[in-house]
Structure 1
Amino acid sequence: MNENVLGIIAGVLTSISMIPQLVKVIREKNVEDISLLMLLVLICGLSLWVWYGFMKDELPIILSNSFAVGVNLCLLFCYSIYNKKK
């Protein structure tokens, strides 16, 4: 298997992993079970992967992690809207 294909498959699976959580939060308008610290650390880590991808000129790393950053930023936005502990 071509290593780029492997990277793309891994990236797609990793990137879509938070979509069910985002859909659940949007449907239920409930973020009580979401850890803000985990979300912030994940966004920072994914952002560093994007930066690394640019440094190495690796499109699979850039695209998959950029998508994951976007999904998690949406989750962070929902967290700020639906958080009842304000």
Structure 2
Amino acid sequence: METLGLIAAILTTLSFLPQVMQVIKTKDTKSISLGMYSMFVLGVVLWAVYGFLMNDRPVFIANLITFFLSFIILIYKIIEIKRN
């Protein structure tokens, strides 16, 4: 069962890489909702805390990595808003 969780965690976490790379390359976040992404990042942090507290490594590690990747996009979004 843990293997299934690890596979799911790897796939969902790595799915953020193309978006992060695109945002870094183009610096375009116009079509990304600040509200949605803020809630998403907060939710991912809470999932990571939950995984840590429950000693669930796949949940903790996947959400910690997802947090860092999604936080990069959120920072670019905030920078774009401040420029405009």
Q: What is the TM-score normalised by the length of structure 2?
A: 0.88
| Counterparts of residues 50-61 of structure 1 (less than 5 Å) | 50-61=48-59
| Counterparts of residues 45-84 of structure 1 (less than 5 Å) | 45-83=43-81
Any conservation in 2 of the 1:31–1:83 contact (CA below 8 Å)? no
**Are 2:26 and 1:6 aligned?**
no
Structure 1: gaps spanning 5 or more residues:
none
Task: Percent identity, please.
Answer: 32
**Are 2:24 and 1:23 aligned?**
no
For 2:73 and 2:40, locate their aligned partners in 1 and report how far apart those are by CA, in whole Å.
Answer: 11
Aligned residues: 84
Q: What is the TM-score normalised by the length of structure 1?
A: 0.86
Structure 2: gaps spanning 5 or more residues:
none
